Amino acid sequence: MKLLALETANEQCSICLVNDSQNVFFSLNDQLKAQTKTLLPMIEQGLQQNGWSTDQLDVIAFSRGPGSFSGVRINAAVTQALAWANDLPVIPVSTLQALAQAAYREHGLTQVTAVLDARMQEVYVANFVLDQHDIMQAVSEEKLLSYADAQAEIQFTAVGSGAHLLHPETTFGNISPTAEDIAKIAVCFAAKQQWVTAEQALPVYLRDNAWKKIPEQGKP
């Protein structure tokens, strides 16, 4: 099985190629808001390095959000285009789940509250626990909450870009999910053929007003 995983939902860009559950290529570009310039060249580089073409892929996985609105939109759009062009199934992966997976990969944390900065004095939040397959599984619903309301949702160690907004003393605020984490989760879904069609590969924003102009979003 040849799998391509994409992650652009957190204002950085990474891709991972997997062949029969083994990572064969990983690349990350942490230049802020440069996904539109870097994602396709990174995919091309990975495919060329492994002697693959897009029509040899079996499935595409992507970080479907919540996260940076533009990043989530780019991820979904590129995934849909590649999937449609090559008649490939798609595995959407929660960005919060990928963040929890990154916390396990980097620090061995097995119970975490994934928290992403959503701007506008809000955060995206959900709780995760490691299962028997070393995959972080949600034990609560993904929510968009104010800082005050999010405090009540924290069950475990808070991790991610929004963690310091709730717990200023946190040591895990710099954890970010990458395509490696998307791939790790997606491989388990792919083994069970739990995927969707390209037209069902939709972004998840959790915010009804995601299309607001920047000044209206309270961004600096």
Rounded (to 5) percent helix, strand, coil in the chain: 35, 25, 40
Model's pTM, two decimal places?
Answer: 0.93
* Cβ neighbour number for residue 27 with a 10 Å cutoff: 18
Angle between helices 69-86 and 35-50 (to 10 degrees): 40
Sole residue written with tokens 């590129």: 78
Domains of the chain: 2-94+177-217 (3.30.420.40), 95-166 (3.30.420.40)
Residue 209's pLDDT band (cuts 50, 70, 90): low
**Per-residue pLDDT reduced to its tens digit, 101-160:** 999 999 999 999 999 999 999 999 999 999 999 999 999 999 999 999 999 999 999 999
The C-alpha atoms of residue 54 and residue 62 are separated, in whole angstroms, by 15
Selected residue with higher pLDDT from 31 and 40: 40
pLDDT higher than 90, residue 27: yes
- Distant-in-sequence, close-in-space partners of 91: CB < 8 Å, separation ≥ 6: 59, 60, 61, 62, 186, 189, 190, 194, 195, 196
Residue 215's pLDDT band (cuts 50, 70, 90): very low
Residue type for 77, please?
A
**Per-residue pLDDT reduced to its tens digit, 37-60:** 899 999 999 999 999 999 999 999
Residue 96's pLDDT band (cuts 50, 70, 90): very high
- Distant-in-sequence, close-in-space partners of 149: CB < 8 Å, separation ≥ 6: none
Residue type for 106, please?
E
Cα 12 to Cα 55, 56, 93, distances in angstroms? 26, 26, 17
The C-alpha atoms of residue 24 and residue 49 are separated, in whole angstroms, by 9
Extract the runs of DSSP E, i.e. beta strands, from 56-207.
59-63, 90-93, 111-117, 122-130, 136-138, 143-146, 157-159
**Per-residue pLDDT reduced to its tens digit, 172-202:** 999 999 999 999 999 999 999 999 999 999 9
